[in-house]
Amino acid sequence: GAGVSQSPRYKVAKRGQDVALRCDPISGHVSLFWYQQALGQGPEFLTYFQNEAQLDKSGLPSDRFFAERPEGSVSTLKIQRTQQEDSAVYLCASSFGYRGTGGSDGGYTFGSGTRLTVV
Amino acid sequence: GQQLNQSPQSMFIQEGEDVSMNCTSSSIFNTWLWYKQDPGEGPVLLIALYKAGELTSNGRLTAQFGITRKDSFLNISASIPSDVGIYFCAGPSEGAQKLVFGQGTRLTINP
């Protein structure tokens, strides 16, 4: 597609419920990133995929958070037993190269995010 | 870990005014990126800086990579209503693919 697509755009979950957030990166983009953005803050890194391999999951806040990208394209971020502190915007980004942060290609393209509210 | 501090946190200006914001870090960054985020959207890259001392323009936007590699500045000239939004600086975390973001500068323009 023309851009990074995320769904759903909004999700309201009851505390304790499991949720799954989907990211469709730009076709052919090798690198895929998930970020969490709390209200009034900058995005914070969660995890990074290079094709289907999850190379960095150091930002996942707990073992309730799980991400996958089984065929190297679409990615899903799953949060189990949601808690109120999980309420945030979850942003997905992709980049063509193996480095998302440099080069003349400008790095990442972000999706519009999924706003998760846990009540 | 590495942190980026942006100032000011918010700005309220009149249309047509020039804007200046900055970003500082206690550690060195080898790349500085400036993003703009509109409500309900993801951040969009405005300017990328790759060399200490570099000054780069994109239309009415100008950004500089500080000589010490610990700071960067973004200037917007002759602001217009569509400049409203949140501006983030970001840089690659040392030895990793991920980006570290500042907390943002929220720009509000009075027509």
Would you give the end-to-end CA distance of chain A in angstroms?
33
CB burial of A22-55 (b: ≥16 within 10 Å; e: otherwise) equals: ebbbbeebbbbbbbbbeeeebbbbbbbbbeeebe
Mean pLDDT to the nearest integer, A53-75: 96
Q: What gap in Å lies between CA A92 and CA B72, rounded to an integer?
A: 25
| Residues 60-99 of chain B whose Cβ lies under 8 A from any Cβ of chain A | 88, 90-93, 96-99
Give me the pLDDT at residue B43, please. Answer: 96
- Determine the pLDDT at residue A96: 83
**Which tens digit of pLDDT belongs to each residue from A7-43?**
999 999 999 999 999 999 999 999 999 999 999 999 9
Mean pLDDT for all residues in chain B: 94
Q: Is the pLDDT of residue A48 over 80?
A: yes
pLDDT at B97: 79
Tokens of B72: 């960067």
In the block, tokens 């190379």 appear at A55
> Is 60 exceeded by the pLDDT of residue B63?
yes
pLDDT at position A24, please? Answer: 98
Using CA atoms, how far apart are residues B48 and A104, in angstroms rounded to an integer? 8
- pLDDT tens across A82-119, in order? 999 999 999 999 988 765 554 444 578 999 999 999 99
Distance from CA of B110 to the nearest CA of A (A): 21
Is B81:B66 a contact under the CB 8 Å cutoff? no
- What's the pLDDT band for A1 if we cut at 50, 70, 90? low
pLDDT at A105 (0 to 100): 45
| DSSP calls for A12-58 | EE-TT--EEEEEEPPTT--EEEEEEE-TTS--EEEEEEETTEEEE-T
Residues B11 and B107: their CA atoms lie apart, in Å, by 5
pLDDT at A99: 57
**Contacts of B28 by beta carbon, 8 Å cutoff, 6+ apart:** B68, B69, B70
What are the DSSP E strand ranges found in chain B?
Answer: 4-7, 10-14, 19-25, 32-37, 44-49, 55-58, 61-65, 71-76, 85-92, 99-101, 105-110
Select the residue of B33, B43, B99 nearest A45 (Cβ to Cβ): B99
Could you say which of B40, B42, B97 has the minimum Cβ distance to residue A110?
B42
Predicted confidence at residue A102, as pLDDT, reads 46
Task: Look at residues B95, B82, B98, B105 and name the one whose alpha carbon lies nearest to residue B34.
Answer: B105
Tens digit of each residue's pLDDT (9 = 90 or more) over B8-58: 999 999 999 999 999 999 999 989 999 999 999 999 999 999 999 999 999
Percent of chain B whose pLDDT exceeds 70: 99
* Residue B89 predicted with pLDDT over 70: yes
Q: Do B99 and A101 touch (CB under 8 A)?
A: yes
The chain A residue lying nearest B46, using CA atoms, is A106
User: CB contact, 8 Å: B40 with chain A?
Assistant: yes
As a whole number of angstroms, the distance between CA A85 and CA A101 comes to 29
Residue B96 has pLDDT above 60, yes or no: yes
